[in-house]
Amino acid sequence: MLNTRRRLTVAVLTIGSALLLAGCTSHGTGNGLPKNYGQDWLSQMSSQLGGDHGGGGGQLLVDDENTKQARAAITLETELAGPYDVLAVCRSTETVHLAIHDITTKHDKYGYSYDTDALIGDASIHCGATTRIPIDVPKGRDGITLEATTTDTSERALFDAFIVTRGSDR
C-alpha cells in the first residue's frame, strides 16, 4: 500500500511538473498570438493581389515610443518612377491607415540609411475591402516606404499592400 502511494505521488508530481513547464513555455509572440499568426492570410493576399512591382505587409505591433497605436513599416527598394496604384487590405480590426513615402538612400561611414522624402499617397483602409491608393513616384527615388498604423492596440491587426501598374488588378 505504501509503495502504491509513493508511485501515485511520483506520477502526480511528474505530470504536474510537465504541465507547469508546458504552461510556462512561450509559443507565442508575447501577446498571446502564435508566432505564425496571420501567415496563411498574408500568403493568400499575396497570391490574389501581388503584382510585378513588389509589396509587403505584416502584423501591426505596439512599440515603446507610442503605446496608443500599433504600427508596421515596410521599405521597398525599387526603381519605380511614374504612376502606380497600391492595393491595400487589412483584417482583425476596423481600420488601418496607410501612408506611402518615397525614399532616397545615403551612404556614410556606417553604411546605407534611408531618408523619407515626400508623402506620395495615403488612405484609411476599411478592413474586409481592398483599397486602391494612386501614387506618383518621382524619378530618382530609391524606393518607397509603406507605414501602417491603427489605434487598435490588441496586436491582432494585419495589413498587406502591393504596388501594381495604374488601373491593374495585379
Residue with cell 505596439: 62
Domain 36-165 sits in CATH 2.60.120: yes
Indicate the Cα dihedral angle 134, 51, 57, 96, nearest 10°.
30
Angle at 147 between CA 145 and CA 153, to 5 degrees: 160
pLDDT in tens, 109-162: 887 777 788 999 999 999 999 999 999 999 999 999 999 999 999 999 999 999
C-alpha closest to that of 143 among 87, 88, 73: 73
| Per-residue pLDDT tens over the stretch 57-102 | 999 999 988 999 999 999 998 889 999 999 999 999 999 999 999 9
DSSP 107-148: EETTEEEEEEEEEEEEEEEETTS-EEEEEEEPTT--EEEEEE
pTM of the entire structure?
Answer: 0.77
Side by side, which strands form the sheet with 55-59? 55-59, 158-165, 82-91, 131-137
User: Where along the chain do its domains lie?
Assistant: 36-165
